Amino acid sequence: MTNIYHITHHVHDNSIYVFFQGCNFQCKGCILKQLIWDCHLKDDIQRELQAINDLRKLSLDEFKIIVKGLNVKRAVLGEGEPTLDKELPNIISMLNALNVKTHLLTNGYILDKKFIEKLEKAGLSSTYVSIKAYDNDTHRFYTGQTNEPVLDNFKLLSKSRIELMAESVLIPGLIEQDEIERIARFIASIDSSIPYRIDGFIPIHDASWKVSSQEDVIKASKTAKKHLKNVRYMHSKIKVKGDVINIYPKMKGR
Ligand code: SF4
């Protein structure tokens, strides 16, 4: 059995987004605390999914049958923490055998040397490591965990064959411009060509921080660009392109 409980199809780039149950962090602003389904789905679909109370995870075979029926070219393995899934290397191998490129979104906490080797062998194309904070007190406060393994494993990943990218969330009042600059400096100390994406914070109901303004996100990306060659950003005003379709769990009548 895998930890996969939800799949969506993003039509504009013919990719699937695969959601995994469970995480080893408890981020205070994690969107999954509010909505365990893809937030890019239309509101009526989200409401129908919210009414489901018997979440059923897929076996590897069931997942394979679903992917085969879609003819997609790319799979984003993230939302929840995919590295906690014992089947992850098998999921990646299976997708590769179907000519589907795999992209892992992870907090990097347990991605040690042995694990990285397994993912390399399975044929993982790329990984986005979310670096929540460089300052360890801030990291512990926000996630409940130390960032030391994250930073160490990021260095290990930079030496692997897997394409490496990083991502952070700008959170007004917590992860500010100076913290983004510290993270950018850390990444640049390894390789200034590693791509870095800054996401504006989107508040959830029990988090006390406000939404990041477009201006602040752009300012943070300019700060990161002082150290890194390839910086992108996302904020709440940038809309996802094309339709997003729910694939799993199946809903009655759809
Ligand atoms: S690492 Fe990601 S999935 Fe896990 S709690 Fe943090 S934001 Fe949520």
Q: Residue 144 and residue 138: Cα distance in Å, rounded?
A: 10
Where does ligand 1 bind, in terms of residues with CB under 6 Å? 23, 25-27, 30, 32, 80-81, 107
Rounded distance between C-alpha atoms, residue 64 and residue 92, angstroms: 11
Selection from 138, 143, 131, 226 nearest residue 185 by Cα: 226
Ligand 1 atom closest to the Cα of residue 107 is 1
Output the pLDDT for position 254: 62
Task: Compute the distance from residue 30 Cα to the ligand 1 centre, in Å.
Answer: 5
62: CB partners within 8 A, 6+ apart: none
Residue bearing the CA closest to ligand 1, atom 7: 30
Q: Which residues neighbour 252 within 8 Å (Cβ) at sequence distance 6 or greater?
A: none
- Give the tens place of pLDDT for each residue, 22-63: 999 999 999 999 999 999 999 999 999 999 888 899 999 999
Question: How far apart are the CA of 27 and the centre of ligand 1, in A?
Answer: 5
Examine the pLDDT at 21 and tell me if it is beyond 70: yes
Cα of 253 from ligand 1 centre, angstroms: 32
Calculate how far, in angstroms, residue 130's C-alpha sits from the geometric centre of ligand 1. Answer: 9
Residue 191 to residue 170: CA distance in whole angstroms: 22
Contact indicator for 1, 56 with CB cutoff of 8 Å: no
- Output the CA 171–ligand 1 centroid distance in Å: 14
Residue ID of nearest Cα to ligand 1 atom 6: 27
Domains observed in the chain: 4-248 (3.20.20.70)
- Give the pLDDT score at 204: 84
Whether the pLDDT of residue 214 is over 70: the answer is: yes
